[in-house]
Structure 1
Amino acid sequence: MWTRIPSSSLRVTGADRVDFVQGQMTGDLRGAAVPSVVACAFLNVRGQIEQFARAYKRPDDIYLHLDEAQAAPLMARLKRYIIFDQVELQDTSDTLKTVHLWSPDSFAEQLAAGSAAQFEWAGGQVLAGRVNRAGKAGIDLHYLARHEAAVLAQLGEEKPLAELDAARIAAGIPDIARDGFEGTLLQEVGLDTGGPLPAISYRKGCYVGQEIMARLEARGNARYHLARVAGENLASHADIVQDGKTVGRTGLAVGGKALARLRREIAAGGALEVAGQSAVAELLTSDA
């Protein structure tokens, strides 16, 4: 099974590429092996998420895989920080495509768990990274758009994106762009070290927003965390209300369920309202 992933991407080259990107992202790129894939976020000075990305560290470049329409704003942000750095940025959104393989058994020999690899397949070069999008290890496969027909011909049954969304919501895996979680703290939406999609290192050194992250680490839990909310006709991207007070916001809703940024004090099973409809906090843990 496989699913098309709406994507955008950047390629970063130059002698200073690793140090430059390391100073912007929350994950530890410098400490990663080559090749490898590192989940990360790019924050503003208040520590809020601007973009989520998976950074592929390769021998000659860094490939930043982002959600759809995210490459242009990230490229503009990175350009502002280039001073004397020897780096070059290229938007590769139009030349590269991505699918997610739900069952990556055919790639077992080429790709060990938690790593990335580039190899010849279906008549061209492909880049593969093992990632968790649906509650278990799968593979994101990146390939040149001009090779798409040959690549897809080698795959099995296509599953629509809605089915992948339903699976990840059931597994508690956030999608920052599709869930509309930009502008939040990563500890609030499952991106902390103990969360379902860890995307931060507290030991990697300075980056934009790092001071806020250090304060949160020292203080402990944030006021919000990632939860799952259920309700008939549950609305996407809507405020969650309890006793007339807004206590959170839903992400993308599929099949009456959604992940949500929710106040920690809301008890599991507590009565809630979303867009005037009754709902319930189905799951409420610090790492779900």
Structure 2
Amino acid sequence: MWNASNIALITLRGEDRISFLHNFCTNDIKKLAANSAIEAYITNVRARCLGYVTVFHANDELLLVTNNYKIEDLVNHLDRYIITEDVEISFELNPNCSLLTGNGIEEWLEDEQLTGTLVVNHWFHQSSYWLFGNLSDAQKSSLGSLNDNQVHAARISAGTPLYGEDIREENLAQEVNRNQQAISFTKGCYLGQEPIARIDALGNVHWYLVRVDIQNVNAEPNITLTLDGKPVAKIRSVSSVTHQALAYVKRGTHDSGTSIISDQGELKVL
């Protein structure tokens, strides 16, 4: 269990909430089954990422879970497009939230009676869930605790980005390299769809976010590695536990197993 920090929860209510969000994000919200979750980018007209969210279809609302980077800007972006639609948007920074994960978590959930809302989390290779609500002391004790370093080491090892750390408003959706998880190429029109479809047809993004081994380079978050003065990698999230990082690397060097030589040392794409 991890007492989640820097998390934000955006809630959409109203009869038009599904069709509205469908028109402003990259994944197919209309096909999202009740009590299910998917990843999506919220993009501007140029397909730049204004947000990267997990969308959970609750009974009478949509819950968007994300990092709390520029949440007010994201909510204002969505809110300005509400004209006659029956949609109400609210948000909460740092809600009462726990991340539940670990071996046997599915069985543990079956045996426990939880208070709050359980949302699928996509950060890790193994099953994990956000709980927006309270755990009893006995439940906390039975799960054990994880610290920030452990959680983000596992997240980086799974190749999962965070908005504000690995994705920012200058990034094109396809640069983040999670097309299968976060983009529907068949859903039809939405804000940013035209450049995303054009990129899909031409394949011309210049950078891709990948997981890299940093054992042979002194890599810190947000530094750019260069070779002969030219950028070859842009480091984002870094784990000192696993000596791995998420980094944007140039097209043609993003395949697994590729070694990237820089003046600061050598990276290996995992």
Residues 178 and 270 (structure 1), Cα distance of their counterparts in 2 relative to 1, 3 Å cut: closer
1:107 aligned residue = 106
**Residue 184 in structure 1 maps to residue 167 in structure 2:** no
SS of 1:164's equivalent in the other structure is helix
TM-score for the superposition, normalised by structure 2 = 0.86
CA deviations over 1:168-212 (Å, ceiling 9, x no partner): 22232222333244421222122211xxxx111111121111111
State the alpha-carbon separation in 1 of the partners of residues 108 and 157 from structure 2: 29
Structure 1 position 55, deviation (Å): 1.0
2:231 aligned residue = 246
2:96 aligned residue = 97
**Code of the aligned partner of 1:261:** Y
**Code of the aligned partner of 1:233:** N
**1:79-228, aligned counterparts within 5 Å?**
79-93=79-93, 96-103=95-102, 105-108=104-107, 121-122=113-114, 124=115, 126-143=116-133, 147=134, 153=140, 155-193=142-180, 198-220=181-203, 222-227=205-210, 228=212
Structure 1 position 100, deviation (Å): 1.9
**Code of the aligned partner of 1:281:** L
The alignment-based identity, stated in percent, is 25
CA deviations over 1:17-65 (Å, ceiling 9, x no partner): 1111111111111111112112111111111111111111122111111
SS of 1:259's equivalent in the other structure is strand
**Code of the aligned partner of 1:103:** G
SS of 2:199's equivalent in the other structure is helix
Structure 1 position 155, deviation (Å): 4.8
Report which stretch shifted further, 165-174 or 42-51: 165-174
TM-score for the superposition, normalised by structure 1 = 0.81
Residues 27 and 166 (structure 1), Cα distance of their counterparts in 2 relative to 1, 3 Å cut: same
**Residue 265 in structure 1 maps to residue 252 in structure 2:** yes
CA deviations over 1:190-245 (Å, ceiling 9, x no partner): 2211xxxx111111121111111110111135322222251443111111212211
State the alpha-carbon separation in 2 of the partners of residues 189 and 279 from structure 1: 24
Q: Unaligned 5+ residue runs, structure 1?
A: 112-119
**Code of the aligned partner of 1:242:** L
**Code of the aligned partner of 1:282:** K
State the alpha-carbon separation in 1 of the partners of residues 109 and 146 from structure 2: 24
State the alpha-carbon separation in 2 of the partners of residues 106 and 135 from structure 1: 13
Q: Unaligned 5+ residue runs, structure 2?
A: none
**Code of the aligned partner of 1:249:** K
1:25 aligned residue = 25
**Code of the aligned partner of 2:99:** H
The aligned length equals 262
Root-mean-square deviation (CA, aligned residues, Å) is 2.5
State the alpha-carbon separation in 1 of the partners of residues 68 and 165 from structure 2: 9
**Residue 281 in structure 1 maps to residue 264 in structure 2:** no
